[in-house]
Amino acid sequence: MTDSTTTAAPAIELRGISKSFGPVQANKDISIRVMPGTIHGIIGENGAGKSTLMSILYGFYKADAGEIHIAGKQVDIPDSQAAIAAGIGMVFQHFKLVETFTVLENIVLGAEDSGLLRPSLARARRELRALAEEYELNVDADALVQDIGVGMQQRVEILKALYRKADILILDEPTGVLTPAEADHLFRILENLRREGKTIILITHKLREIMEITDTVSVMRRGEMTATVKTAETSPSELAELMVGRKVLLRVDKTPAQPGRVILDVQMLNVTDTKGVHRLKDVSFQVRAGEILGIAGVSGNGQSELLEVLGGYQTASGTVLMNGDPIDLTGTKSDGQSRRARGISHVPEDRQAEGLIMDYAAWENVAFGYHHDAKYQSGILMNNAAMLADTEEKMQRFDVRPPDPKLAAKNFSGGNQQKIVLAREIEQNPDLLLIGQPTRGVDIGAIEFIHKQIVALRDQGKAILLVSVELEEILGLSDRIIVMFDGRIMGERDPARTDERELGMLMAGMTSDPDKVSTAEIEENLAHAGTGEKV
Amino acid sequence: MDLLTLLQLLDSAVRLATPLLLACIAGLYSERAGIFDIGLEGKMLAAAFLSAAVAYTTGNVWIGLLAGIGASLLLSAIHGIASITFRGNQLISGVAINFLAAGLTVVIAQSWFAQGGRTPQLAGAARFNPITLPFADALRDVPVIGPIYYELISGHTALVYVALVIVPLTWWILYATRFGLRLRAVGENPAAVDTAGVSVVGLRFAAVGICGVLCGIAGAYLATALQAGFTKDMSAGRGYIALAALIFAKWKPWPCLWATLLFGLLQALALRPDLIQRTLGFSVQTQLLDALPYILTVVILAGFVGKAIPPRAGGEPYVKER
């Protein structure tokens, strides 16, 4: 196993693996060779098909076509049992542990020696001690899994695989839940494992990890394996390009802004969440009539909390003036209703959880929140006919497809769902529109439409606060940009005089001269910025 | 209250607790594997009917017991197929089983025996008879120990002793065997069991099967040991009381014994209003006494017994994900 010369048989070889889920082809004719005793990285954006490929390897899915060879022999992997027998161990992104069991019980589960537990547990305890010394994998065997941290839980998963005599270890986004220190420890463990001749497949979307630890790297994009290269012979920028391909630049046509009076004035806003984490720190800014203020940042750096405070469902301290008058932040008089009464409309970040009731029909969703309006009343009853007619008209204007007001929200595509929310909020003629992630999960055609609507609203002299993790969107739409990092405003930039690189630096919490910093460093900082990285 | 009366009361409590205990442990296996089962009641009722019917026809109570277990297993299989194979709602499946059993037993009993939905009285070998343990008669006159042994411990039917043995056996299976470890795991996190290469479906069917066997014994006990024949709705909510006891016991075997004994004691008290009057000095309405076990059930289910954390994957059909 320790022989890693090129003449040895690959530890794993996949030939022509394809897998479709309905009309979606998750894996297209994928071939890959992983040499024994190496760390092989697989990198790609979310949804590139990495996890599907590994699930096929672990017997969770059956490939539509293709062959799997382990150590030179073709094998069939119909279930996890077969994968384990073939020497494959998997550390899932979401751990598969029984929380109420001890570490030892979790390790033994499914790999017991006999019908009675006691001998198995005793042997596992001995082996655990040996493994801990060999690979720096220290765990408390008798601790309950629910009482130990995620870094420790991950070690239990690795130990589970090693206890089952795995020669090939697959780790799916292993650092997503770890602190930087824990991640460093994990990498030391992986290096120890490689030294002992184990083969490791590391699935990630973080360039830093690939560059730091892998020997070989394969890049996946939209279900295809676009390249396999030696890590030493590539660079982060080359990998990034292979990963995302050439992006189509979205142009937004707009005239220069004509900012008017101050609509929203936020002064020294602070939020501490229920866990005691300080989410917003002394945030102050203004939004004027007729301008779009974009807030850039890696998700989880306070933008969501900011929108929640302004939308009326998160308490805060500080002052927020709307049209010159303070709005309530204590939670006693603040809710969506009171905010709407003050001329604030809100398109929430998570349209499926906060913007819509997925099982309700489009017309119910369009009326929802505004169902007390006089136009929707008929005596003591709601005027359903008026709501239906109104929705039908809005659906026409916002080009919602299909234009059927009686269809449940869940049956529309992401883009059309967003148009329904936008139609509801924009049509209220607000003074201020809060809009979070306007085009997340929305197709290209709808993106353009939504962007046009936002610009049109600005041109009517409305104030718009845009929160997006898409830098391109922020750069294309905003008249001014502020960047948030760790609950703080890092700075303000003019979109005409900045670029992705400078904003990326600010988003990673760095303010130094961008020309003196490499892309790798930006990437590294981005990887560590915030807690709510995109998963 | 003298010692003899107390012993008679406790003796009665043990007899009444037995079907509750069997059903409670039955529910424990099922729920520990993540399958909620409110069909305990229906399974007991079906087993009670078929065991009595077959015992009457063959004149052999053991064949009757097997038939009762068979009836209960059949309903368990329905519950398993509905909730494990087809991932249906476990509560609805359980309710359906209860309705099915309540209706079918009476209809079939009427059709077979034409005695108004009951089976004929069982006698002799068609019934479980009390077993006198060795030396019971000899020790009878020894002070204190004698009466306890004779009145309380000896003189029960075989199924009572079976139920009492099942408690330590279940404890041993759950905590000392591979099967027990996997069973507990599948009720907490089936994904962990699945990725460890063990069949979630197989484990859950095994658990539901054990549940069926124990419910079958519980039902047969009702009709062939506690009573002498099947009567309409004779399970009388015992399946639900067993579920309440299971929550009370926090899904652990030994506490199941204590919880069901408590319910058994309350039921025994309800049968002896004279005793209450003599002890307390005033009479308590029998209706109130009859209602006591059910009132306790409500109190327990309302959560007055502290935090009871059910198996985490309970009630959730397992769907494989990446």
For chain B, count helices (H), then strands (E).
Answer: 14, 0
**Residue B72 within a domain:** yes
Do both A314 and A357 map to the same domain? no
CB contact under 8 A, A109 and B195: no
pLDDT for A248 equals 46
Total of domains in chain A = 3
**Residue B128 within a domain:** yes
Chain B residues with beta carbon closer than 8 angstroms to that of A115: 177-179
Alpha-carbon distance values, B121 to A421, B57, B115, B234 (Å)? 70, 11, 11, 14
Q: What is the pLDDT of residues B9-43, one digit of tens each?
A: 999 999 999 999 999 999 999 999 999 999 999 99
Helix (H, G, I), strand (E, B), or coil: what is residue A64?
coil
pLDDT for A253 equals 79
pLDDT for A134 equals 86
Q: What is the pLDDT of residues B92-114, one digit of tens each?
A: 999 999 999 999 999 999 999 99
The residue ranking higher by pLDDT, B238 or B298, is B238
Asked whether the predicted pLDDT for residue A337 surpasses 70, the reply is: yes
Do both A118 and A228 map to the same domain? yes
Nearest residue of chain B to residue A163 (CA atoms): B196
Tell me if A462 sits within 8 A of A430, measured CB to CB. yes
Do both A309 and A416 map to the same domain? no
pLDDT for A416 equals 87
Q: Which of A60, A118, A160 sits opposite B176 (nearest CB)?
A: A118
CATH number at residue A34: 3.40.50.300
Q: Which of A60, A83, A115 sits opposite B322 (nearest CB)?
A: A60
SS3 content of chain B, % helix, strand, coil (to 5): 70, 0, 25
pLDDT band of residue B224 (cuts 50, 70, 90) is very high
> Would you call A171 an interface residue with chain B, using a CB distance cutoff of 8 Å?
no
CB contact under 8 A, A98 and B180: no
Beta strand pairing status for A317-322 and A73-75?
A: unpaired
pLDDT for A3 equals 44
Angle at A46 between CA A41 and CA A51, to 5 degrees: 55
CB contact under 8 A, B312 and A112: no
Alpha-carbon distance values, B10 to B2, B14, B125, B219, B223 (Å)? 12, 6, 27, 22, 21
Full residue range of the structural domain in which residue B35 is found: 3-236
**Residue B151 within a domain:** yes
Q: What is the pLDDT of residues B159-182, one digit of tens each?
A: 999 999 999 999 999 999 999 999
Chain A residues with beta carbon closer than 8 angstroms to that of B184: 98, 100-101
Q: Minimal Cα–Cα distance from B192 to chain A, Å?
A: 4
CB contact under 8 A, A110 and B184: no
CB contact under 8 A, B181 and A105: yes
Average pLDDT over residues A250-270: 88
Q: CA A466 to CA A342: how far, in whole Å?
A: 19
pLDDT band of residue A509 (cuts 50, 70, 90) is confident
Q: What is the pLDDT of residues A442-462, one digit of tens each?
A: 766 678 888 999 999 999 999
pLDDT for B37 equals 94
**Which of A88, A98, A104, A144 to probe by mutation at the B interface, max B CB count within 10 Å?**
A98
Chain A residues with beta carbon closer than 8 angstroms to that of B189: 96-99
Asked whether the predicted pLDDT for residue A502 surpasses 90, the reply is: no
Q: CA A128 to CA A124: how far, in whole Å?
A: 6
Q: What is the pLDDT of residues A475-494, one digit of tens each?
A: 889 999 999 988 899 899 99
Do both A22 and A156 map to the same domain? yes
Asked whether the predicted pLDDT for residue A14 surpasses 90, the reply is: yes
The residue ranking higher by pLDDT, A94 or A308, is A308
Q: Which of B175, B181, B194 sits opposite A80 (nearest CB)?
A: B194
pLDDT band of residue A527 (cuts 50, 70, 90) is low
**Residue B41 within a domain:** yes
Q: What does the CA dihedral A507, A509, A510, A511 come to, rounded to 10 degrees?
A: 80
Q: CA B86 to CA A439: how far, in whole Å?
A: 38
Local structure of residue A154 (DSSP, 8 states): H
**Which of B181, B252, B320 to probe by mutation at the A interface, max A CB count within 10 Å?**
B181
CB contact under 8 A, A96 and B192: yes
Q: CA B316 to CA B186: how far, in whole Å?
A: 11
> Would you call A99 an interface residue with chain B, using a CB distance cutoff of 8 Å?
yes
pLDDT for A1 equals 41
Total of domains in chain B = 1
| pLDDT above 70 coverage of chain B, percent | 98
pLDDT for B73 equals 97
Domain ends where: A400, A427, A454?
A427
**Which residues of B lie inside 8 Å of A (Cβ-Cβ)?**
175-182, 184-185, 188-189, 191-198, 312, 320, 322
Nearest residue of chain A to residue B175 (CA atoms): A117
Chain B residues with beta carbon closer than 8 angstroms to that of A160: 196
Chain A residues with beta carbon closer than 8 angstroms to that of B322: 51-52, 55, 60-61, 92
Do both A423 and A521 map to the same domain? no
- Tokens at residue B150, please? 């004779």
Q: Is A23 exposed, middle or buried, given 0-12, 13-18 or 19+ CB atoms closer than 10 A?
A: exposed
pLDDT band of residue B193 (cuts 50, 70, 90) is very high
Do both A380 and A487 map to the same domain? no
CB contact under 8 A, B192 and A105: no
Chain A residues with beta carbon closer than 8 angstroms to that of B179: 115
Asked whether the predicted pLDDT for residue A508 surpasses 80, the reply is: no
Asked whether the predicted pLDDT for residue A513 surpasses 80, the reply is: no
Residue A392 half-sphere exposure, CB side, CA atoms within 13 Å? 8
**Residue A225's beta-bridge partner residues?**
A220
pLDDT for B304 equals 63
Full residue range of the structural domain in which residue A293 is found: 249-343+430-535
| pLDDT above 90 coverage of chain A, percent | 48
Tell me if A416 sits within 8 A of A432, measured CB to CB. no
Instruction: Catalogue the long-range contacts made by A506-510 (C-beta closer than 8 Å, 24 or more residues apart).
Output: A506/A296, A507/A296, A507/A297, A507/A298, A507/A301, A507/A483, A508/A298, A509/A485
Do both A48 and A169 map to the same domain? yes
Asked whether the predicted pLDDT for residue A532 surpasses 60, the reply is: no
Rounded to the nearest angstrom, the gap between the alpha carbon of residue A267 and the centroid of all alpha carbons in its chain is 30
**Residue A24's beta-bridge partner residues?**
A21
Q: CA B121 to CA B227: how far, in whole Å?
A: 9
Do both A240 and A255 map to the same domain? no
Q: CA A153 to CA A147: how far, in whole Å?
A: 10
**Which of B195, B201, B309, B319 to probe by mutation at the A interface, max A CB count within 10 Å?**
B195
Chain A residues with beta carbon closer than 8 angstroms to that of B178: 112, 114-117, 120
Q: CA B37 to CA B240: how far, in whole Å?
A: 10
pLDDT for A535 equals 30
Local structure of residue A353 (DSSP, 8 states): I
CB contact under 8 A, B188 and A92: no
Domain ends where: A371, A399, A427?
A427
Say how many CB pairs under 8 Å bridge A and B: 76
| pLDDT above 90 coverage of chain B, percent | 68
Do both A256 and A208 map to the same domain? no
pLDDT band of residue B134 (cuts 50, 70, 90) is confident
| Preceding amide of B253 cis, omega within 30 | no
Neighbours of A292 (CB within 10 A): 27
Do both A44 and A102 map to the same domain? yes
Q: What is the pLDDT of residues A344-355, one digit of tens each?
A: 999 998 888 889
Backbone angles phi, psi at A522, to 5 degrees: -60, -45
Q: What is the pLDDT of residues A151-199, one digit of tens each?
A: 889 999 999 999 999 999 999 888 766 776 788 889 999 999 999 999 9
Do both A438 and A406 map to the same domain? no
Domain ends where: A427, A447, A462?
A427
Q: Minimal Cα–Cα distance from A117 to chain B, Å?
A: 5
Q: What is the pLDDT of residues B239-260, one digit of tens each?
A: 999 999 998 899 999 999 999 9
pLDDT for A178 equals 73
